[in-house]
Amino acid sequence: MPSNLLVQPPADGVRLITLHRPQALNALSTELLAELATELDAAERDEHTRAVIITGSRKAFAAGADVNEMAERDLVGILNDPRVSHWQRIAAFSKPLIAAVNGYALGGGCELVMCADIVIAGSDARFGQPEINLGIIPGAGGTQRLLRAVGKPLAMQMVLSGEAIDARHALQAGLVSEVTEPELTVERALQVARAIAAKAPLAVRLAKEALLKAQDTDLATGLRFERHAFTLLAGTADRNEGIRAFQEKRPARFLGQ
């Protein structure tokens, strides 16, 4: 049983994971990260889980790496940091991952947001990479993913000054997909996740992979991948079902085949 997470079993194909370290504003301790990576591995293997939501509390999604834990780590400890592999497992999750964010998403918290595919933010959310205030830089993708998400000038401003931005600014910059009233953040994320969970699983999986290719490869490689994936899906039962359901004016029943 994880001690830093609240995990709801999948309902309607959606698993909800709540970061729960209220005494430290959900600071991402090594233990919490390990638990999160393990939960995502379990969700990856579970055929009933079609989408996952990660959320925090109203005050904080996550206030970054655990600074007190960082204080105890020397250079050798950093070179052998187990958190690196936890982060890699989190970033490699292949099913749709939605972050529902209220309050602070700082440092590692903002980096966790950027591992998600879709980000629903309450209007009270604040995103930042304050590591520079500690004499360090982001260490879990914050320089690389932030620049890709918001472009160079804003990424530079956030990382070099440590200043956070609010939810509206994050929306305008492309860091989040939608802003809601703070009390509706999780509900809206559930709505989106349930809609995704009802789609054809193979198509969802390949759509995510194809979209991520657009970030990581050149256009020609990405277009080739898209064409292969599109062709592959032509052989699935769910494609036949989707088209037949449209013609028969009824909801499709997708089986993941």
Q: How far is the CB of 228 from ligand CAA (least distance, A)?
A: 35
**165 or 190: CB nearest ligand CAA:** 165
> Known catalytic residue: 65?
yes
105 binds ligand CAA (CB under 6 A): no
> Known catalytic residue: 203?
no
124 binds ligand CAA (CB under 6 A): no
| Beta strands 60-62 and 104-106, pairing class | parallel
Q: Decide if 256 contacts 238 (C-beta within 8 A).
A: yes
> Known catalytic residue: 162?
no
Query: Which one is catalytic: 131, 164, 170, 189?
Result: 131
Angle at 55 between CA 53 and CA 60, to 5 degrees: 165
106 binds ligand CAA (CB under 6 A): yes
| Residues 137-166 as x/- pattern, contact with ligand CAA by CB under 6 A | -xxx-x------------------------
| SS3 call for 162 | coil
Q: For residue 56, give Cα distances in angstroms to 1, 64, 80, 233, 250.
A: 18, 12, 28, 36, 38
Q: Which parts of 18-77 interact with ligand CAA (CB under 6 A)?
A: 24-25, 27, 63-68
**139 or 242: CB nearest ligand CAA:** 139
Q: Give me the DSSP letters along 170-207.
A: HHHHTS-SEEE-GGGHHHHHHHHHHHHHTS-HHHHHHH
Measure CA of the first residue to CA of the last residue in the chain; give whole Å: 33
- Interacting residues with ligand CAA (CB under 6 A): 24-25, 27, 63-68, 104, 106-108, 111, 130-131, 134, 138-140, 142
Tell me the catalytic residues: 65, 108, 111, 131
